[in-house]
Structure 1
Amino acid sequence: MRSLIYIERLFNRFGDLLGWLSSILFVLLLANVTYDVIMRYAFNDVSIAFQEMEWHLFSAVFLLGVPYAIKAGGHVRVDLFYERLSHKAQAIIDLLGTLFFLLPFCLLVTWYGIDFAKESYALGETSGDPGGLPYRWIIKSMIPLSFLFMAISGVGLILHSLNKIFNPHLLHIRSESNH
């Protein structure tokens, strides 16, 4: 069972890396918005590319932040009953929810999202606006990539749930790695 804990820690490190990357992209988004606002209102200069970069960065922050939220337990759930259950019951709910809902959905979006991004790349899709960003396939490829990362975080959640069921005395492992 020690190897199960070690493998969970590897998945947690991957989730932490995605959280770090998402936070760096958020700082870049903040800088982009600040620059865009200053240029627009102080100098009456509008850049379509910078406006599009805002939603590209926002999308990347969100798409890479969700796998981290799954790892950190910050995802949305209905806690009305869940919080009152034992750790073992919570682990069983997390395990079943991940196996039957999270993983199939993530893998489905990943599978179909690859063709979505490949088509954009093959067409050489760019912004429809003059002065917009080229290479729209880059942001479109973030969709299947992020859902693959969510599935990987889901595997980490499965490992955590199994550790809660079979190693209840080691519950502190995941909470320590979340701080």
Structure 2
Amino acid sequence: MSERKPMTALLHFSRAIDGMSLVLGRILPWAVIIAVLVSAGNALSRKFFQVSSNAWLEAQLYLFGVIFLLPAGYTLLKNGHVRVDILASKLPRRVQLWIEILGVVFLMFPAVLLIVWYGVPNFLASFESGETSPNAGGLIRWPAKLLVPLGFGFLLLAGLSHLIKCLGFLMGRCPDPMQPAGPSEEEELMQELKAELDKADDEGRGDK
């Protein structure tokens, strides 16, 4: 009983982190749409009105940073990151989980912590100095520099959640975190497309 209480609390903490990652994963795709609109608007204004702005160009870069850095925790949650598991996939499941745990603790955490360690002072220096772009009409720089520690901070939390779930699975307290709980987003899209094609085919037969 005494061993179950700490793990129960850790699993609750893990679920809270996963909930945050899921929210980010649902919100951040809008950044892609905004980036496309900003890019298209900037291109059209330059093409037809000979008007361009460094601020809009830099805004695109900031949005790309949001798209690529902030969803890192969501990607880990969905097992969307790259694993070189040609050999590990042939080992027993419990051995695979221990390899995953060692990889998170000794490879992922040190690298992420190092980036956060250097990223935070870099952001603070930019924020305190009011650093701006050297380009005419450019934007302030600290929001872009904030994305680095923020994105890797989310990844650190997601890694901690993943570690807890790996240990929980080995103790028989939660599902396998390396096994997809359901179809991937690509599989869901394919299922939706197949359903639409089947519906259109049925309607075509009905018209005949």
What TM-score do you get using the length of structure 1 for normalisation?
A: 0.87
Q: CA 1:11–1:177 in 2, change beyond 3 Å: closer, same or farther?
A: farther
**Structure possessing the higher relative contact order (Cα contacts under 8 Å, 6 or more residues apart):** 1
Q: Does 1:163 align with 2:157?
A: no
More displaced stretch, 142-151 vs 50-59 = 142-151
Unaligned runs of 5+ in 1: none
Distance 2:127 2:135 in 1: 18
- Structure (1 or 2) with the greater helix fraction: 1
Deviations 1:88-134 (CA, angstroms, capped at 9, x unpaired): 2221111111111111221121122111011111221001111111x
Alpha-carbon RMSD across the aligned residues, in angstroms, is 2.4
Q: What letter corresponds to residue 28 of structure 2 in structure 1?
A: S
2:122 maps to what in 1?
Answer: 116
What TM-score do you get using the length of structure 2 for normalisation?
A: 0.76
Deviations 1:22-44 (CA, angstroms, capped at 9, x unpaired): 21222211221121222222333
Q: Does 1:24 align with 2:51?
A: no
* Structure 1 residue 152 displacement after superposition: 0.3
Larger Rg: 2
Q: CA 1:78–1:173 in 2, change beyond 3 Å: closer, same or farther?
A: closer
Q: What secondary structure is seen at the aligned counterpart in 1 of 2:73?
A: helix
1:138 maps to what in 2?
Answer: 143
1:70 maps to what in 2?
Answer: 76
Unaligned runs of 5+ in 2: 185-208
Distance 2:132 2:165 in 1: 42
2:158 maps to what in 1?
Answer: 153
Q: Does 1:128 align with 2:128?
A: no
2:199 maps to what in 1?
Answer: none
* Structure 1 residue 172 displacement after superposition: 7.7
Q: CA 1:57–1:168 in 2, change beyond 3 Å: closer, same or farther?
A: same
Q: CA 1:16–1:37 in 2, change beyond 3 Å: closer, same or farther?
A: same
Q: What secondary structure is seen at the aligned counterpart in 2 of 1:79?
A: coil
The 8 Å contact of residues 63 and 143 in structure 1, kept in 2 or not, is answered as yes
Q: CA 1:172–1:159 in 2, change beyond 3 Å: closer, same or farther?
A: closer
Aligned with residue 59 of structure 1, among 42, 59, 65: 65
The 8 Å contact of residues 160 and 174 in structure 1, kept in 2 or not, is answered as no
2:93 maps to what in 1?
Answer: 87
The 8 Å contact of residues 88 and 164 in structure 1, kept in 2 or not, is answered as no
